[in-house]
Amino acid sequence: MVPPVATAEAETPSTYGTASPPPNIETTVDALLAAQRANRWAVSSSSASERIGKIRRIAEWVEQHRDAILQAGYDDFRKPATEVELTEIYPVLTEARHVCRHLKRWMRPKWVKPSLAMISTRSQIQYEAKGVTLILSPWNYPFNLTVVPLISAIAAGNCAILKPSEMTPAMSGLVARMVTELFDQHEVALLEGDVEVAQALLARRFDHIFFTGSPQVGKIVMEAASRHLTTVTLELGGKSPVVVDESAHLQDAADKVAWGKLINQGQTCIAPDYVLVHRKVFEAFKDALSSTIQKFYGHDSAARRQSPDLARIVNERHFRRLRRLLDESVAQGAKVAFGGETVAEELWIEPTLLEQVPEGAPAMQEEIFGPILPLVPFDDLDDALAKIRSKEKPLALYVFSSRSDAVRKVLQGTSSGGACVNEVALHFLHPNLPFGGINHSGHGSSHGVYGFKAFSHERAVLKHTRFSALKMMAPPYTDWVKKLVGLTVKFL
Ligand code: NAD
């Protein structure tokens, strides 16, 4: 595949807030919502085959517009074509295939066994669509993180309004085109725009909100949802730690950490945020990581800056945020162990390793979300676990070790949305694992059957015949009824 051609615009990465909201946003939102509300029962009574048909059309559209998707990834922040394939196109296509393969089974009501007291009943769980749903997505994987939730929403029989990020206008515009070409807006609609549009949407009543973004905005979304008691799925971020103990295969760990950290220029919710390394192997791991970065992207700063395999920081605002994080951390005593070059005009931050980072420095306090990685030595695994536990529960946790007792200790002694052992980030791509955070890193799960369930209500349906033992317990509460209730409470 020929890489996307760098146009004049492509060399000037997008600036914050370029997508403008539609005029009369309030009336646009009201009209869309009214249209989707009127249509939602027709959509939710659709068969599995009809829903599969819609999802197949998305997959076909993706195949047919591959080049446009690669180009949009490049235009937004110079994302390498291979990374667009792997992190935007592949997750959407695998999700679509997986859902099409299993949806009939997922939609089928699930019979449940009666307890002794329920012996005369037949009961099942039915999966009903929530109704009209809202999907708010971030900029870092703008295609994947908008279209995968859309597939789940369709699978569960919902209408959806999408609001992608304003920071990646090329990809958001392309998703808008896809939605317009494939769907009637009474079923799926997309509104481009910034916070103003998101807030206009959040002020309205939806039946479910699926939000992917920062914990800060997650709080705003949850607060808005609470006004209507709307259910939410919150896919958030945080500081995902890596633990490398003295028994780990260091080169393997270094290769995986470097790739997981630097894909998308570190702008990944599950990227390693800091690495806790046993002191005995600290220097060896640092060297292995440095040489892997050189092998992947070039032997000196100039070569790495020229590398076609590293994306750029998405915009000036995030560039300034990262440079401040780096400068303040260094001012507080952190040492740059590798890299450190920054070029504002190119939104370029070199892959950078930090050591001796004080715990209070921004690099150890804020989600980094860029190509800067603190390495922190530990002497005792308990100290490493205490450090992880002192922070909010992360979205992901990675442990590299060849000792099963150490792995068990790390998993039992911490909490995180997901975890990988001797691997980084791969759990995101596993179709049978739930993907999501816990508390500060999120709420609820996505992907496969978990995405289907996020957009469904599990409705308990109990069927009974005319005969019911419960009738014998109806008033008046005679002594005999009291005795019967007593026996029921005791034995059934
Ligand atoms: P963000 O929270 O700034 O924005 C996400 C969406 O919310 C955008 O559509 C944006 O327009 C909207 N928004 C922004 N401010 C708002 C406000 N005040 N009120 C209402 N809506 C608002 O997130 P981002 O910068 O686009 O993405 C980065 C964050 O997302 C990181 O924290 C990252 O870890 C997280 N993330 C999580 C996942 C996941 O699956 N858990 C995936 C990707 C990114």
From CA 41, how far away is CA 37, in angstroms rounded? Answer: 8
Q: Which of 268, 269, 443, when mutated, tests ligand 1's pocket best, judged by the most ligand atoms within 8 Å of its CB?
A: 269
Domains present along the chain, CATH in parentheses: 25-236+445-457 (3.40.605.10), 241-430 (3.40.309.10)
DSSP label at residue 435: B
DSSP string of 21-73, one letter each residue: PPSSHHHHHHHHHHHHHHHHHHHHT--HHHHHHHHHHHHHHHHHTHHHHHHHH
From CA 190, how far away is CA 162, in angstroms rounded? Answer: 5
pLDDT score at 466: 78
Amino acid code (one letter) for 373: L
CB half-sphere exposure, 53, CA atoms < 13 A? 6
Residues 308 and 80 sit within 8 Å (Cβ to Cβ): yes
State how beta strands 456-463 and 110-112 pair. unpaired
Cα 110 to averaged position of ligand 1 atoms, centre (Å):
35
Cα 342 to averaged position of ligand 1 atoms, centre (Å):
24
Set 269, 350, 367, 420: catalytic member: 269
Please indicate whether residue 269 is annotated as part of the active site: yes
From CA 156, how far away is CA 470, in angstroms rounded? Answer: 35
Phi, psi of 357 (to 5 degrees): -85, 120
Set 235, 246, 350, 367: catalytic member: 235
Cα 213 to averaged position of ligand 1 atoms, centre (Å):
3
pLDDT score at 13: 28
pLDDT score at 344: 98
pLDDT score at 469: 80
Measured from the Cβ of residue 113, the count of other Cβ atoms closer than 10 Å reads: 7
Q: Whose CA is nearest to atom 15 of ligand 1?
A: 195
Block means of pLDDT (10 residues each) for the chain, 492 residues, are 38 36 86 98 98 98 98 98 98 98 98 92 97 98 98 98 98 98 98 96 98 98 98 97 98 98 98 98 98 98 98 98 98 98 98 98 98 98 98 98 98 98 97 98 98 98 86 94 94 87
pLDDT score at 21: 61
Phi, psi of 368 (to 5 degrees): -75, -50
Cα 39 to averaged position of ligand 1 atoms, centre (Å):
29
Atom of ligand 1 nearest to the CA of 367: 32
Atom of ligand 1 nearest to the CA of 164: 9
From CA 178, how far away is CA 172, in angstroms rounded? Answer: 10
Helix (H/G/I), strand (E/B), else coil: 199? helix
